[in-house]
Chain A
């Protein structure tokens, strides 16, 4: 069975600080995809990024960056120069042969 662990339940940082959200996964599949979703206070989950198991290149999109390391089965998400609008619950997810499996989420609060 596959599993996604987000050990950080809640994180609070002061605006403009950098913050990293951790995601560790388990799977026996050789081909799989990893995702991050954002759930703002409005409630609707929004897709942020998708990464396949064969592509370990890090990705940067504006203030967001993702570090995928197969050696440690991790797919961490960093927000640089955080802003109040980044306050949300962030979910990491894994899809292999089985259906999509979500982690328990990390609630991020950015303090003005």
Chain B
């Protein structure tokens, strides 16, 4: 079972370039999330989508946009990359987004912005 699939695994950008991180899940989950992981800061929520057709800001949304293309796919776009966006990005999904649910994570995208 694939679970949550993220692409690409690694990416190097120059300041000002744009790119889209792709995420797809095959578990028929309603909710999807984008997190970033930085040293000493744990995981911080960028955006989430509680269900198809809805998206909401998380803790650190500035500089990012998202699209919930359909129930399976949730993409994260950096319109004009900045060095502060160098991080490891994780996509995750959960069945309904309720209080007690565990998250299923992708394997991450390591992004460097020069």
Query: Closest B-chain residue to A9, C-beta based?
Result: B40
Residues A52 and B100 in contact, CB atoms below 8 Å apart:
yes
Per the bound structure, the CA–CA distance linking A52 and B100 in Å amounts to: 8
Chain B residues within 8 Å of A105, by CB: 42
B105 within 8 A of A: yes
Within 8 A of A (CB), among B21-61: 40-45, 48, 58-59
Interface residues of A toward B: which range?
20 to 34
Chain A residues within 8 Å of B48, by CB: 99
The stretch of A43-51, A58-66, A69-77, A78-86 in contact with B is: A43-51
Per the bound structure, the CA–CA distance linking A96 and B98 in Å amounts to: 10
A31 within 8 A of B: yes
Query: Closest A-chain residue to B92, C-beta based?
Result: A45
A44-B107, A45-B90, A99-B58 known; A35 vs B42 contact (CB < 8 Å): no
A50 contacts which of B42, B102, B104, B105 (Cβ < 8 Å)? B102
Residues A44 and B43 in contact, CB atoms below 8 Å apart:
no
A43-B88, A91-B42, A105-B42 known; A100 vs B105 contact (CB < 8 Å): no
Per the bound structure, the CA–CA distance linking A68 and B42 in Å amounts to: 21
Query: Closest B-chain residue to A92, C-beta based?
Result: B42
Query: Closest B-chain residue to A46, C-beta based?
Result: B105
Residues A100 and B40 in contact, CB atoms below 8 Å apart:
no
A103-B42, A104-B42 known; A47 vs B102 contact (CB < 8 Å): yes
Chain B residues within 8 Å of A52, by CB: 100
Chain B residues within 8 Å of A44, by CB: 105-108
A33-B99, A50-B100, A95-B100 known; A102 vs B105 contact (CB < 8 Å): no
Chain B interface (Cβ < 8 Å from any Cβ of A): 40-45, 48, 58-59, 88, 90, 92, 99-100, 102-108
Chain A interface (Cβ < 8 Å from any Cβ of B): 4, 9, 31-33, 35, 37, 42-47, 50, 52, 91, 95-96, 99-100, 102-105
11 inter-chain pairs at a CB distance below 8 angstroms, sorted by A residue, are: A33-B100, A37-B105, A44-B105, A44-B106, A46-B105, A50-B100, A91-B42, A95-B99, A102-B43, A104-B42, A105-B42
